[in-house]
A and B are shown apart, each in its own frame.
Chain A
Amino acid sequence: MNINATLFGQTIAFVIFVAICWKYVWPPIIAAMAEREKRIADGLEAAKKADDSLEEAQLAFDKELNKAKVEASELIDKANQRASQIVSDAKNKAQDEAEKILSSASKTIENETNNAKEELKSQMSEIIIDTTQKILDQEISPEKHDDLLKKAAAEL
């Protein structure tokens, strides 16, 4: 176990290996690690951004949804109003129409009644006249009623 030139041999070997490590081993590994670190940091930041924008979008969505809800309820109210108006309009119209029909009907009935009455009157008078004529034809003979006729003629 002597101290000999092995000492310097090892020193030279050490310097050579350190040089190789310095030139070829250390830099690529450190660079790869640094790049990965950067990529991870970027990824995390992007994820955070995406999270934020998602939240924003959620907020906007909620806002839009509420707006839409309000609009919809307004529309429904309006529609209801309009519907009830239409119904009430229709009702009024129908009532008017009904009244009109009723009045025209009653007028017609009145007319018909009058007509019938007239007809009846005329028929009755005809019948009466007919019957009267028949009776008169039997009863009245010129001889019997001569003076009567004369009287009538005189009256004329």
Chain B
Amino acid sequence: MAKELTSSSYIQHHLTNLTCGKVDEGWTCDPHRVEEMGFWAFHVDSLGWSVFLGIVFIVLFRLGIPKLTTEAPSGLQNFVEMVVEFVNENVRSIFTSATNPLIGPIALTIMVWVFLMNLMDLVPVDYLPELAKGVGLEYFKVVPTTDPNITLGMALAVFILTIFYSIKVKGLKGFIGELTLHPFGKYMIPVNIVLEGVNFIAKPISLGLRLFGNLYAGEMVFILIALMMFFSSFAFGIMGIFLHVGWALFHILILALQAFIFMVLTVVYLAMAHETEDH
């Protein structure tokens, strides 16, 4: 890069996605024309990693164990069964009033996929972007869950599923009634709509932003630690190594926890959509 490397440009570089979108002349991935693209642009790096890690999940959980044994399992099958059992148990403990064969797969996909996406946070912040620079990509963000589009995209899918099952279980009337007749009865419908509407919309937004916020903050700390090693003295560099290791170890906890929380909340929201009794 011709530009001189400064702290702010370093951070800015790490927070910018590889974006492709449509401009007047057609499709382009030029990072200087992102403003022109408007809404119809794609973060190719986030989506690419996201899809790649989804494929990793499928490979691990299906193609990695072509022969499922009913004898004592070993190796990968052992791990896979442990995860599935864990997810299934959680789903069963939350989903008590109704059964839905789709909830388990949703929960499993979310937990493993989000965990894998979070796990990319542990790859030192400069490795993959520098590699990408090697093949001519100026910006390359690695951790999909530090992109609000990704987390909110999943939350949106969960939101749509929630609405779908609410209507399917309670009927359109029941669903609308739930939004309008609570908590004050039918004479206060406008107030009810505001209160319940906020409650309803807040669920997916908080679901997506929680994951994004946690991972974004974690990624930012990694970037700052890396920054410290670049722009400071040798002694700070050494300290930075220990800081990085310490934060990475601590971050493992957050990665797994956030994946778990995303899964549990998804299941809870879907369970609420299945609940038919009046409050």
Interface of A toward B, CB cutoff 8 Å:
1-11, 13-18, 20-22, 24-26, 28-33, 35-36, 39
Please report which residues of chain B, range 127-164, place their CB below 8 angstroms from some CB of chain A when the two chains form the complex: 144, 147-150, 152-154, 156-157, 160
Contact of B149 among A6, A28, A33, A39 (CB under 8 A): A6
Interface size on B, residues (CB 8 A): 50
Using a Cβ cutoff of 8 Å, how many contacts connect chains A and B?
125
Contact of B62 among A10, A24, A36 (CB under 8 A): A24
Contact of A4 among B41, B73, B157 (CB under 8 A): B41
Shortest beta-carbon distance from B225 to chain A in Å: 21
Interface of B toward A, CB cutoff 8 Å:
15, 17, 19, 21, 34, 37-43, 46-47, 50-51, 54, 57-58, 61-62, 68-71, 73, 80-81, 84-85, 88, 101-102, 104-106, 108-109, 113, 144, 147-150, 152-154, 156-157, 160
Shortest beta-carbon distance from B256 to chain A in Å: 19
Shortest beta-carbon distance from B53 to chain A in Å: 10
Shortest beta-carbon distance from A35 to chain B in Å: 5
Which residues of A sit under 8 angstroms from B19, Cβ to Cβ?
Answer: 4
B88 A30 Cβ-Cβ under 8 A: yes
Interface SS majority for chain A: helix
Which residues of B sit under 8 angstroms from A24, Cβ to Cβ?
Answer: 58, 62
Given A4-B42, A10-B47, A10-B50; A17-B58 close (CB under 8 Å) = yes
Q: State the CA gap A18–B57 with chains docked (Å).
A: 11
